[in-house]
Each structure stands twice: as C-alpha cells, then as structure tokens.
A and B are shown apart, each in its own frame.
Chain A
Amino acid sequence: MTEKKIKFVFTGGGSGGHVSPALAVAAELKKALPEADITYIGVKNKAEGTMVPKVGIPLKFVKSTPLPQGKSPVSLLKFAMTMFFGLSKAALLLLKIRPAAVFATGGFVSAPTVFAAWMLRRATFGLFRTRIMIHESNTDLGKMNRAAAKAADKVAVSFSETIRHLPKNKGFFSGYPVRSSISMQDRQEARNELGIPENAFVIFAFGGSQGSRTINRVLANSAKKLLEDSNTYIIHGAGRPFGKTYEYHGFNDVSGILEKQNLGDAEKRYILRDFIDNMGLYYAASDLLVIRAGAGSIVEVCRQGKPSVIIPISNIGNDHQIGNARFIERAGAAAVIYERTDPLNGINIAFADADEFCETVSKLRGDRQKLAGMSEAAKSIFPGNPAEIIVKNLLYLCRLGGKPAEIKGTEFVNDRVLGLNSTTLEKFLQKTKSGAGKPLETDEVKLIKNKIDMLFSSHNPVIRARACRSSGILGYAEVIPLIIRYAADRNSAPFLSRDAFSALKQLTPLCGSDKRTDLFNAIVSGLGNPYYETRFSAERCIPAFAGHFGTNDAELGKFMETLFKNMSDRCFEVRMDAVLSAAQISTDTETLLNHFSKLYFDAVWKVRMAIFQAFEILIKRGALDKKTAAAEIDRILITSNGYTTEYELKKEYNSVMELISREKKS
C-alpha cells in the first residue's frame, strides 16, 4: 500500500523576492512531513518559471496582473478580464488537486489562487476545506495582500509590527524564510576559488536577479575611484531580464558604462556577473555588501553577518524599502544611501549619488573596527528559523501538528515621513507647519525633499502640481528655478501653473536677487494665463514680490497695467485678487480709484467686499484720506445675496465646552 499523500499548493512570485521564501518553506515542509505533495502555481515568464523547476516542484501557470495604477476604465476592464481567467483556471486547478492548504507569499501572482480557494470555500459552504495561509515579506501590507489577508486563515509576517494592521488573531510573527542552501562557507576557501587575495577588501553588490538600475549605475560610475585603492575588489551581479522583452538589461548597461570608464589595469579587480547562482560563495568572500532593501535581501545579508550599504527603492509600495533600510541602519548594521531624482536638471530616473556612495564606502573601508561592529549587530537582528515557524503553523492549521509556541519578533518604529503620497505629504507638511506635530528633523527633511524630487519627476502634471504645493509649505528653496519654469510656461497644465504660483508666493522670500528677473517675467506671464486660477494665483504673488525685492518704476508700471486689465476679468476671483494686489502696491491712488469705480456694482458681492478691503489697506498705508474713502464707499452697492448663518445654540455649546475643558486642565 502506498502512503497517502497530503497535498499542498504554493503560490506567489513575480520577483525572486516572493519565490525564494515560498521555496524555503517548501523545503522545510518536505523535511517535516515527507508525505507532503507540493504543487506550485505561478505566472508565465516570471521568476518562478526559472526558480521552481530547479528544486523539482511541479509548476502550473495561471493568468494574473498587478492592479492598474490609474483609474482608466480600459485598464480596469483588462485587469478584470485577466483576473477572471486567472481565477477560473486557479479554481479548476484547486478542484483537481484538492490541497489541504494553500500557502501564498503575496504579490499579484498569488491573488487568483488565494481568492479562488476562498471563493470555493464560501461557495461550497465548507465542503471544500482548503486552508489558506499567506506570508507578508515587507513591513507594510501590499494592496493585494491586504485583500488576501481577509481571505486567509493565518498571515505570517516578517516584521512583528505588521500584525497591528491585521485582524485580531490572524497574524503571527515568523520572520522572512531564507533558503537553507545558502549556508555559511569558509571565507578563505571562497576567496581562493574566486582568486581574491586574503587581505583584499571585497565589495559585493547585487540588486536581485533582474538587477537594479540604481545599484548598477552607482557602482559602475564609482568603480574608477573605488578601485584606485589597489587592495579593493568589486564583485557585481548586474542581473539580466527573465523574458525576451525587457525595459532594462543590467549586464549590458554596466558593461557599457565600464567601457567608457576606461579602468585599465583595475578592470581585473572588477568581477562582473549577469546572474549569480552561488550566493553563499560570494557572501563568504565579501567584506561589504551593496544591496536593495527588499525584505529577502536584508534578512539574508543580516543572517550572514555582513555589514552593508543599502540603497532602498524610493517611492513605490509605501516606501517599505526605505523603512526596512532605516530599521537596519538604526540597528547599526548598515549605512543607507537614498536614491533620488534631479528634476531641476531633467534627470527623472532615480539614481544614487556616486560621490556620496564613494565617500561612504571609503569611510567604511578604512574603519575595520566599525565593520566588525556592524557585522555583530547584523547577526542579532533576525532570530529564530522563519521557515520552521511557518511550517509548524501550517501543519497546526491543517490539524496535522500541535499548537506551536508564539514568537515575538523585533519591534521597530515606523517613520512618520515614510509612506506618504503626493496628497498625504501635503497634509502632513501643513500639520507640522501649523505646529500640530513634532517639528521636522534634518534627516526627515532630507527624506521629504527626496520625495518631492520624485514627485517632480512624475509624468502626471497633477502630481507635479502637488509637489509644487509641498515645496511651498516646506520652503524647499533648491527647486525654485523649476517652479518658476512651470509658472512661466504657458503650456504647463493649468493646475500645475496655478500651484506653481501658490508655491512661489510662499517661496519668494527665499529667492536670491539672481531670480528677480525670472520671477518678474513669470508673474507677468501668469497674469495673462488662459486659466483663471493661474491668473489669480499670479496676482497673489505680486505683494510678496514687492515686499521682498521692492519694485522699480518699470516693474510697477507693468504690474499695474495688467492688474487693471484683470479687474474686468470674467472670473470673479481674478477681479478680487487684482483689486487686493493693486491696493497693496499702487502709488497712484487716483487712477486706482478710477478703475475700482467700475466694480462698484459688480454682480458678485465678493468683488465689492475686496474693494472694501482694498480701502482698508489704502487707508492703513496712508494712500487714501478718510473723506475720499467715505465718499467712494457711499457709491458702492451694499446689498448682497450672501450671509453667514450662525446657530446660536451651537455657539453656546462651544462656550460651555470651553469652560469644561478649561476646568479639566486646571
């Protein structure tokens, strides 16, 4: 009689970072339960296609695609169609296999299988009894995993703080499962094999199986400088794409840059690879690692006890990589270099600064003691064996094992400046500016500026407009030339030019005198912009300009001329701000009153209110005598179709509440 197989379905992928934990758990499961029969469900032309067959697990394919970024109906429909096919196929596979449990490592690849299992369970009222467990590798739940977590019975997390985002009793801490094949090798042996001298300083850089553009370029660009020290070796896994079509070919890119660098003799010490199979060997041989901050990489590297320079990916998936990187940095095991864009010079692809990188590496190279300390710190960050914990929990879930003990993971603080998008960033900055939050610290300002740069690099003008607003609130003086460019350009998207001016109003006091002409020209151009909100935003900049630089006769003349023209604009807000701005800078009250008088019966009472306010300004400035003002005001229509309601009961409510809260405090 053959022994009865217990079937499991594993799924997850897209990138190596999702496949390798699944494989680690699969290996551990086979060890703990030899009769386990595992099938892997993945998507074609992704990492799982090459990695899974290698370990001898049968692989089936379903269709799936990531959530579309925009809200366009076409992409949503495409997504829905793909998901429909994926779900149907996954459901058929599950019905055929009838697994005891589905284990998913998240990402869009696992979505069809997880949801199909959940739906089958719901549709058959529990007759189909597959359990679902998912593993979240990052600190923050991805969009797909957030939905999948609802369907799952249990969610294993790599970082214990993630449990807080999950329903009660669903999450448990496991850590990030690492392939056991990467065992510690002897450093000496490894170096002999690679032909690297014993006392050399070896930098090992890799950005995942497909390679990372940022790491590749910063390394290639710093190669010459770093290799000036004849004792330094660089091992570089530049990566190559999986499919036939690709956006970026790491190996070719790096070779190209290196050729231009003309390394000469030092080229021997730059070991360039496209794909690295034998990670253990390279880990063992190296002294310093240059990595991305994917959960997989950092856990692997820390377990090897290696110090590292981390270059996290910015601006995707809630900044989780930056969060991961800062966590390792705080623990004292890594130095972090942030990637950024340089929209001011038109560089909109993220890069890491080569000079900064060289400096960081050189400093570490010269301080062996510090490296040793980092090494020690790295080893202690991730305790326990994650794969074992997950397998124990999985077996318990399937009633095949006893209840495993709960393990507490390392807690870490989340940065408040991380995970902000263009909208929440603006709100956050307003809040801190108004004094509601703790004031920003230097490194936080640096992160925010990086993020604003990223926003400025967006193709979407609305995102760039929000970047303008955030720059204005933060007082980000370095981007002023860029904002002036947006403001002055008549072809800018309307929202962008509008927000450029509202930022300039706040940033004008930070402008040096070299920007005076540019700013003046931008404002004049904005006053005649075809979009009404841009016109009045430009008008609001004039008092700031005059207050900061003062105005000469030519400037004043040009301003007044356009303001007078704008006083007969068809949009009431343009008329309003023209009146207010003119009152603040005008030197010729008589002409001003002449133009005002055309608005005394304006259909929109808010314009008439602006005239009253203008009179206040003029009287305070001493530009208008009270007698003339009184005569003029008498000519203004005072009837309006607007008023403010006041609920007397609510007023009283507030005064009582104030009394109560005051007594509470004292």
Chain B
Amino acid sequence: MIYAIFKSVFGAGGGFAVFRYLSSRTLIAFVTAFFLSLIIGRPLINALYRHGFRSFERSYGEINSQKKTGTPIMGGILIFITGIGSALLWCDLTNRFILALLASAVWFAVFGAIDDYKKIKGRDADAGLSRFAKYTVQILFGVMLAVFVLTPAVSPLPADVANSFQIPFFKGFVFSSTVLTFLWIVFIIVYSANAVNFADGMDGLTIVPSVFVFAVIGVFAYIVGNKIQAQHLLYEYIPKSGEIAVFCGAIIGAGAGFLWFNSHPAEVFMGDMGSLFLGGTMGTAAVLIRQEVIFIIAGAIFVIEITSTFVQENIGFRMYRRILYRAPLHHHYQHQGMAEAKIVTRFWIVSAIMAALALITIKFR
C-alpha cells in the first residue's frame, strides 16, 4: 500500500527510491511486522484470554500448576495481523504472486480460526472441524491454486515454467507434465498445512522452523525473480516473483514477534489458526516459485513430524502395536523424560541445518 502511494506520488525513479528495492522493502517489512507484534502482542493476548480463548484440559478440573492449562490460544491471529498487515503495507498489491499469497493466508487463517473456535466452544480438542471437512478445505484450495498456476491467462508464471518440475542438484527442467504438476501442487498444499499442524505441540516448536523455511523461500524467490541472478545461478527466471521475498520478510518478522511471546514458557499458543495459516502460505509460496523440493528439504522437521504420526497411527495401529513410544516425534522424546526446552532447541538446530542445506543447493548444481 505504501509502495503504491510512493509510486504514485513520486513516480518511477523519483525520490524515496529505497522503497523500490526488494531488499530494502523485505527488511522494512520484517521490522514493521516485528515491532507491530511487540506493540499489539500484549493487548491482543489479554483480549484472547478475556474472551475465553484459553487452552483447557480434556477433563474439567482445577488448574494444574505444572501444566499449561489456561494459556491463551488462537495466537495465530497475532501472526496473521502483523504479518499480513506488514505485507499489505510494503508489498506491491498489484502483483499476482502477492494476491495468491494473500488469498491463501486468508483462506487458511479463517478456516483455522473456525476450527479453534469450535474446539473452544465445545471445550473439547475433538470438537473441531471433522477430518473430512479439513481435507476438503485444503484440497479445494490446492485445486484452485493449481488452476491458477497452470492457466496461462491468469498465471503469473511463464507457461513453460509453470508445468515443469525442478529438482535440486539438477540444472533446468527435469520434465514437464501439466497433469502431474496439478496433482503435485494439490499434494504440496495438503501436506504443508497438515505437517505444520502436526508439529504444533510445544513452545516455539513450530514458529522457528517456519521462519527458517520462509527465509529459504524468500532467498529463492529473490533469486528466481532477478534476471541476472537467475541466469547466473542457472535458474529459470520468473518475472516479478521477487515480490514474494517481501511477503516472506513480513511473515518472518511476524514470526519473530510471535516467538517473543511464544518462547518457553509460552504466554500464547498459535492454535490451528496459526499452524494452518503458516503451513498454507508456506506451501503456496513454494508452489509459486516452483521450488517445492527445496521447501520439503528446508522444512524437514515438518516431514519428520507428519511421517512419525503417519507411521504410528496408520502403520502401527494396523499392526496393533506402537512403533515409536509416542507420536508426533517430539512426544516420543518427551515420553523418555526429555525436557520440553531441550527438545525444542534440538529441533531448531536440526531445522537450521536443513535450511542451510537447502541454501547450499543454490551453488551445487
């Protein structure tokens, strides 16, 4: 919005050129979102508590002084307001990449909020949206995004890039297929929304790896959106996709601001609203620059969390046994007595390593 104002007031190439650079706007978006979090964080958390958005035990009873009962939930609204607010201020809102990202943010945030609200109202963690409803909403968005990306008339991507697979360590396109890309995009959206959702279970466990992933996607968006860089590093140039970096900067700032309150011991939880919104936009951003494999590598923690749950619940239960002590994986360690702060820190380390690995693939091709 501010970008548009400056552009119309000063014209292209006029004063305040600093706002025209992606790198500077990314940084400003980050700072804006972060400080916005610090300003509205406390009152927002208090408001959530006052309106009854609190976590609860499965059974009624007194507050356990050793447990997190009573912590305000649906803190995803904080990430949403600050991240999307900052993005609205600093992104080019005529850019179709940004429009797609905003659509995914609103779509997943609203549906996560409904889920959270139903759980609070029902006072039961099982009272949320049904599994069927969740998958329907996710698949529906995946289909819409795939249509958007694969229809040349509306797609912001060049037609030859849109339906091709890019795999790290290999130059250029590996192969092109519209049908497979369509299915792949739907899969990535459903996967990312669910994976982040499963990882949400400990203080700071979801937000930090998410921030790392957004950082990696931001770097890639900057590269593929810059003609010189893209040619230099042998990536397919995707015009205007650099704007995604600004969006990522805003979400990273919002994530840092959220961690301010969510770090152990947490004063607020993100809830399904937060995890679905983060997961959904993350997947969308990765799809828009067609770097889904990089996204999977950088978000390896999410892969581990969703796989461990799948193994335990689907494979294990069919064999009538537990394969891990508990699932998702962070509970597996918790069951062995490891303190939460330790598990979370170790998961951060792993996700930082995986993010670095994802960045290394830029050069190793």
Contacts and interface: CB of A to CB of B under 8 A. Distances in A.
Interface of A: 461-462, 465, 493-496, 531, 533, 572-573, 604-606, 640-648, 650-651, 653-654, 657
Given A494-B321, A606-B337, 20 more contacts: A462-B317, A493-B321, A494-B319, A494-B320, A533-B321, A533-B322, A604-B337, A606-B336, A641-B337, A642-B339, A643-B339, A645-B66, A646-B66, A650-B63, A650-B65, A651-B65, A653-B63, A653-B65, A654-B63, A657-B63
Nearest to A530: B321
Contact of A461 (B63, B320, B322): B320
A540 B336 CA distance: 19
A647 B337 contact: no
B66 A647 contact: yes
B342 interface: yes
A654 to B, nearest CB: 6
Nearest to B64: A650
B342 A641 contact: yes
B65 A641 contact: no
B337 A642 contact: yes
User: Interface centre among B265, B319, B321, B339, by most A CB within 10 Å?
Assistant: B321
Interface string B323-351: 00100000000001111101000000000
B85 interface: no
B96 to A, nearest CB: 33
Given A572-B336, A606-B337, A641-B338, A647 B322 contact: no
A62 B12 CA distance: 67
B315 to A, nearest CB: 13
Contacts of A494: 319-322
Contacts of A604: 336-337
B172 interface: no
Interface of B: 62-66, 69-70, 265, 317, 319-322, 325, 336-340, 342
B70 A650 contact: yes
Given A645-B66, A645-B265, A496 B339 contact: no
B124 to A, nearest CB: 14
Contacts of A461: 320
B339 A657 contact: no
B337 A605 contact: yes
A605 B336 CA distance: 8
A394 to B, nearest CB: 33
9 nearest A-B pairs in the assembled complex, by CB-CB distance: A494-B321, A493-B320, A642-B337, A650-B65, A651-B65, A606-B337, A495-B320, A642-B339, A650-B63
Nearest to B70: A650
Contacts of A648: 65
Contacts of A657: 62-63
B45 to A, nearest CB: 15
A486 to B, nearest CB: 12
User: Interface centre among A462, A640, A642, A657, by most B CB within 10 Å?
Assistant: A642
Contacts of A462: 317, 320
A641 B339 contact: yes
A642 B338 contact: yes
A644 B338 CA distance: 10
A641 B344 CA distance: 13
B65 A654 contact: yes
Contacts of A573: 325
A640 B64 contact: no
Contacts of A495: 320-321
A132 to B, nearest CB: 23
Nearest to A652: B65
17 contacts: A494-B320, A495-B321, A572-B336, A604-B336, A605-B337, A606-B337, A640-B337, A641-B337, A645-B66, A645-B340, A646-B66, A647-B65, A647-B66, A650-B70, A654-B62, A654-B65, A657-B63
